[in-house]
Amino acid sequence: MEKLWFDSLPMEFFYGGVVGVTLAPYVGLVRLKFLEEIPVRFKHYESRLKTVKNLGDEVVLYVLHYGKYVKLGSSKASQAFSRMYSQAPIAGMVVSKLVVTGDNVDLESSLERPLANKLSSSLRRFEITTRKKEVETLVNYLISGRTDQERVLNDLRSVSEASWRLLWGVRGSYALTTPPSEYWFTTLIDDESLEILRASKSLRGLPELRKTKCDRRFCRGTLTILHNAICVLCVESKNYVEYCDKVSYNLLIEVE
């Protein structure tokens, strides 16, 4: 059994922005298709994402837009856009590539949370977090039809550039190496994906799946991956809708 993962493209591919990006999904070496019900067997496997970095590590600090709020995060540079995309944002933008200048640096506690707090004080029109809300918040926003990608990108530029200004010249365990807002993407929010979300009705997520017998043994069902990296698991005629990154970090999967 393997984890779900998405192909990673180099940062340079996103210079100047990519509209409607999709990154190929895989389980192990098996490439999956979007919008198809794929028969799978799976079991729970929880793994915590490490945020501790060491001297010389290259990291990308990024912002993601979810319609009603903005999430700040960081990732290993070589996997940054795969990590950003798998979290199913409406759009994502790089604040800067960083080089870590210390050892055992916890970016979440030393960089992400303090920066989010400062941004929340200076940019009061945005809700800025370091944690995603339940997927229901995003899905309800998407199916409402209110998505305005120009506004979303302008919001991200404001947050990205404010973040860069706050960090520039501040003595810390990292050095900024690229200017803000140059690398970004929007995800593909197509009509077929929206119809699948509307048809899912009750937006159960992985926490609800944990309450079933699937928590204690292997389960069978189908996995549908939408173009914007939302995953739909169907088990015993019930749909469980979740961000694909949460599926990646909580389930081991076998394509049947």
**Residues near 42 by Cβ (< 8 Å), separated by ≥ 6?**
1, 214, 218, 219, 221, 223, 233, 251, 252, 253, 254
Is 90 exceeded by the pLDDT of residue 232? yes
Do residues 74 and 95 share a domain? yes
Predicted confidence (pLDDT) at residue 50 exceeds the cutoff of 90: no
Question: Is 12 within a domain?
Answer: no
Q: How far apart (Å, rounded) are the C-alpha atoms in residues 183 and 96?
A: 9
The answer to whether residues 37 and 104 belong to one domain is no
Whether the pLDDT of residue 205 is over 90: the answer is no
Q: What pLDDT is stored for residue 171 in this prediction?
A: 65
8 Å CB contact between 44 and 251:
yes
Mean pLDDT of 185-214: 87
Number of structural domains (the chain) is: 2
Q: Which residue range forms the structural domain that includes residue 127?
A: 52-187
**Are residues 165 and 199 located together in one domain of the fold?**
no
Backbone torsions φ then ψ of 75, nearest 5 degrees: -155, 155
Looking at residue 80, its pLDDT comes to: 95
The string of pLDDT tens digits covering residues 240-254 is: 999 999 999 999 999
Q: Is residue 2 part of a domain?
A: no
Residue 201 has pLDDT above 70, yes or no: no
Do 90 and 161 have their domain in common? yes
In a domain, 17, yes or no: no
Question: What integer is the mean pLDDT of 89-109?
Answer: 90
> Where is the domain boundary, 152, 169, 187?
187
Does residue 240 contact residue 100 with C-beta atoms inside 8 Å? Answer: no
Q: Is residue 132 included in any domain, yes or no?
A: yes
Considering the domain architecture, whether residues 232 and 251 belong to the same structural domain is answered as yes
Give the chain's mean pLDDT.
Answer: 90
* 148 in the same domain as 96: yes
Question: pLDDT tens across 166-185, in order?
Answer: 988 666 778 889 999 999 99
- Give a yes or no: residue 14 inside a domain: no
Highest mean pLDDT among 3-12, 45-54, 117-126: 3-12
Q: Judge if 37 and 74 occupy the same domain.
A: no
Q: Tell whether 152 and 245 lie within a shared domain.
A: no
Please indicate, yes or no, whether residues 102 and 168 belong to a single structural domain of this protein. yes
Q: Of the candidates 187, 206, 222, which is a domain's last residue? A: 187
What H or E segment, with its residue span, contains residue 163?
Answer: helix 149-167
Same domain, 178 and 201: no
pLDDT tens by residue, 1-41? 999 999 989 999 999 999 999 999 999 999 999 999 999 99
222: its two tokens: 């189908």
Residues 76, 32 share a domain: no
151 and 168 in a single domain? The answer is yes
In this predicted structure, which of 48-52, 149-153, 201-205, 238-242 has the lowest mean pLDDT? 48-52
Among the candidates 151, 168, 187, a domain finishes at 187
